[in-house]
Amino acid sequence: MHKKIAASFYLFLIVLCFTSFRTAPAIITAAKQNTLRTIVIDAGHGGQDFGAKGSYSYEKNVTLAIALKLQATLQQAFPDVKIVMTRTTDVFDNPRVKAQKANDAHGDLFLCIHCNSAPAIKHSEQTGYKTQTYYTGKGKKKKKHTKQVPTYRYWSTPNPASGTETYIWAADRNDNKEVAMQENESLYMDSNLAKQIGDFDPGAPETKMYYSLKTQQYFQRSANLALDVENEFIKIGRTSREAKQRGVGIWVLQATAMPSILVETGFISNPDDEDYINSVDGQQQICNAITNAVQHYKNALETNSFQTVSPDSQ
Ligand SMILES: [Zn+2]
């Protein structure tokens, strides 16, 4: 009975917390959760995993160059925030190891840097005709024929797709995120709450509800940041292909027990974008845009003023 009352009270608190972010400081969002202390930056690919290929560059090198500049830019903007890198050299780690590094670092935010790619467009045109020989019949009846057949030439041109996209995990993958959160609960739970949760059976609906709501909160925070990153890209004249949800290929976003986004910084398959994401100026512009968005995110976190984003609206 006592347990039941405690559970109901606890449920009331989490519902209160999620129905209004402004009343959130109640208990659950302890001060610890409303500050940005550690940001984890993940440079996509690396080592034998080259990522997408441009006409002269590989994604793994571009993502590392941008990630290192982002580290410096964020550190300058937020001297008190710890910046952790999943890699600083040309090495390969599988996404599981990368997610583990982020979780072990007790990250409050996970920023994943990638480049996009679109397949070249294939073209063909008829160049003329050639004579083709063929036979009919067998033995003495075998007869030689000729016919005219068209000839073609084939070539491809770069896909014109260009610009930026920022991803969050798809809302229908929240289950995976919840698992990551359960496995790394020490990351975001204050000790009082951990004690309360500790009284619950991990399989109990109350516990499940907690993780579900916490995941939705992280989803909201990630969506706010993703939308803002794209907004900052628009301000510097990039073509924004918008903030999106993705269910595949972004396992690392689901496996990290923290708000997380994946930024596709440009199309390496597009000649103009490839030049831009390889240039020192372009890379710095990208980092400045992301840093501005992180600044807004930090402000929203500290003042509990995130906008509510509908999972269906993206
Ligand atoms: Zn990639």
pLDDT at 203: 65
- Considering only residues 134 and 209, tell me which one the structure prediction assigns the higher pLDDT: 134
Ligand 1 mean position, distance from CA 104 (Å): 23
Ligand 1 mean position, distance from CA 154 (Å): 29
Q: Which of 74-88, 145-159, 180-194 has the lowest mean pLDDT?
A: 180-194
Backbone dihedral region for residue 40 (phi beyond 0: left; psi -120 to 50: alpha; all else: beta): beta
Computed over every residue of the chain, the mean pLDDT equals: 84
Provide the 8-state DSSP code for 20: -
Give the C-alpha separation, 299 to 278, whole Å: 31
Ligand 1 mean position, distance from CA 217 (Å): 26
Q: Are strands 260-267 and 240-246 parallel, antiparallel or unpaired?
A: unpaired
Contact 222, 261 (CB under 8 A): yes
- Considering only residues 308 and 23, tell me which one the structure prediction assigns the higher pLDDT: 308
Q: Are strands 38-43 and 82-85 parallel, antiparallel or unpaired?
A: parallel
Q: Which of 20-29, 110-119, 169-178, 212-221 has the lowest mean pLDDT?
A: 20-29
Helix (H) or strand (E) holding 266: strand 260-267
Average pLDDT over residues 60-89: 98
Torsion angle of C-alpha atoms 281, 283, 286, 290, degrees rounded to 10: -120
Give the sign of the dihedral formed by CA 73, CA 76, CA 78, CA 82.
Answer: positive
Helix (H) or strand (E) holding 165: strand 164-169
Ligand 1 mean position, distance from CA 46 (Å): 10
Note the pTM of the prediction, 2 decimals.
0.79
To the question of domain 2-120+158-303 being in CATH 3.40.50.261, the answer is no
Ligand 1 mean position, distance from CA 43 (Å): 9
Ligand 1 mean position, distance from CA 178 (Å): 24
Torsion angle of C-alpha atoms 48, 52, 57, 62, degrees rounded to 10: -80
Beta partners for 302?
none
Tens digits of residue pLDDT in 83-96: 999 999 999 998 88
pLDDT band at residue 16 using 50, 70 and 90 as cut-offs: very low
Ligand 1 mean position, distance from CA 34 (Å): 30
Per-residue pLDDT at 122 exceeds 50: yes
pLDDT at 155: 94
Ligand 1 mean position, distance from CA 117 (Å): 9
Average pLDDT over residues 241-259: 86
Burial readout 166-187 (b: 16 or more C-beta within 10 A, e: otherwise): bbbbbbebbebbbebbbebbeb
pLDDT band at residue 293 using 50, 70 and 90 as cut-offs: very high
Q: Where are the domain boundaries for CATH 3.40.630.40 in the chain?
A: 2-120+158-303
Ligand 1 mean position, distance from CA 59 (Å): 7
Per-residue pLDDT at 206 exceeds 90: no
Please count the other Cβ atoms lying within 10 Å of the Cβ belonging to residue 25: 14
Q: For 89, phi and psi rounded to 5 degrees?
A: -135, 180
Ligand 1 mean position, distance from CA 114 (Å): 4
Based on DSSP, count helices (H) and strands (E) in the chain, helices before strands.
9, 8
Ligand 1 mean position, distance from CA 61 (Å): 11
For helices 174-183 and 95-104, give the axis angle rounded to 10 degrees: 50
- Considering only residues 250 and 215, tell me which one the structure prediction assigns the higher pLDDT: 215
Ligand 1 mean position, distance from CA 169 (Å): 15
Tens digits of residue pLDDT in 211-220: 788 888 999 9
Give the C-alpha separation, 72 to 89, whole Å: 15
pLDDT at 185: 61
Q: Are strands 82-85 and 109-116 parallel, antiparallel or unpaired?
A: unpaired
